[in-house]
Amino acid sequence: MEYAENILGTIGNTPLVKINHLAKELPCLVLAKYETFNPGNSVKDRMALKMVEDAEADGRLQPGGTIIEGTSGNTGMGLALAAVVKGYKSIFVTTDKQSKEKVDVLKAMGAEVIVCPTDVAPDDPRSYYSVSKRLGEETPNSWYVNQYDNPSNAVAHYESTGPEIWKQTDGKVTHFVVGVGTGGTISGVGKYLKEQNPNVKVWGIDTYGSVFKKYHETGIFDEKEIYPYVTEGIGEDILPENVDFDVIDGFTKVTDKDAAVYTQLLAKVEGMFLGNSAGAAMKGLLQLKDEFNEDDVVVVLFHDHGSRYVGKMFNDDWMRKMGYIE
């Protein structure tokens, strides 16, 4: 009989799916690493489990303990799955720009959720970075995950996502394209792929309002680049330790409007019901068309599921209110 011992055993080994219509103008083969097949419907299940297991192994997470993390939703979901199966409590801190669905899903998994304002500086005591860190210090028998600087985040993708992509493309992958937030996915996958073939190009998708692109190109952390934006799950107003800029060949920025419009297009044209960062990744990929030739095999990673965005990018009233559609 074939079965998993628990839901955590179903994480990983997600399929590659060809992008047909939206990639028509590109000369290359475009394949999506379709991470919604993970049980928590996102790529973050991989690193959440790895971070939990590593914390258990070295004693940071003790039996009956409480997992505490600041999250835009998906890492929280992965951690919540692990907490349920392994018998931990969980407290997640998020921002008021995240979709209501993300908050509701975390509560459905038995987690306590605290919502903080988005439009404050990272070191403001009200920010979700500060609140989650403080709760980690104040809560007895707790473990503050800190996905941004936790090395297990990138290691998870070096050990699983990267090798899967290499094997599934029979070593023919030439480009890897992915939205960048904590940096774990791009850094772990990028490191693995470049070790197999140093000629593989690794491209990050950034958003306007985030510091990554300018910092990568100039080495300058420019606070003037930082302002509130709508796109969820990518971009940062900090420099997480997990972003290994040495394995990234370049960034392209995608507007909030384009990210939202292409999120809808992926569903309506490709039948791919995906999250907001997938729309950004798809549009970013098209912006990079001059980088590709007919022999290339481009893998773009799609982070999460459209069910998290039904009240936003898949709601035409919301899209009209934001000025994204007529």
Q: How far apart are CA 154 and CA 151, in angstroms?
A: 6
3-state helix, strand, coil in the chain (%, to 5): 40, 15, 40
**Beta carbons of 279 and 309 less than 8 angstroms apart:** no
Q: How far apart are CA 105 and CA 182, in angstroms?
A: 21
Tokens at 103, concatenated:
């908050």
Tokens at 192, concatenated:
């693995």
Which candidate, 169, 216, 160, places its Cα nearest to that of 197?
169
Radius of gyration of the chain (CA): 19
Question: Does residue 33 carry a catalytic annotation?
Answer: no
Handedness of CA 257, 189, 186, 122 (dihedral sign): positive
CA atoms within 13 A on the CB side of 306: 17
Q: Considering the candidates 44, 191, 194, 283, report the single residue annotated as catalytic.
A: 44
DSSP code, position 182 = S
Q: How far apart are CA 96 and CA 112, in angstroms?
A: 15
- In terms of residues, how long is the chain? 326
Q: What's the start-to-end Cα distance of the chain, in Å? A: 53
The set of catalytic residues is 44
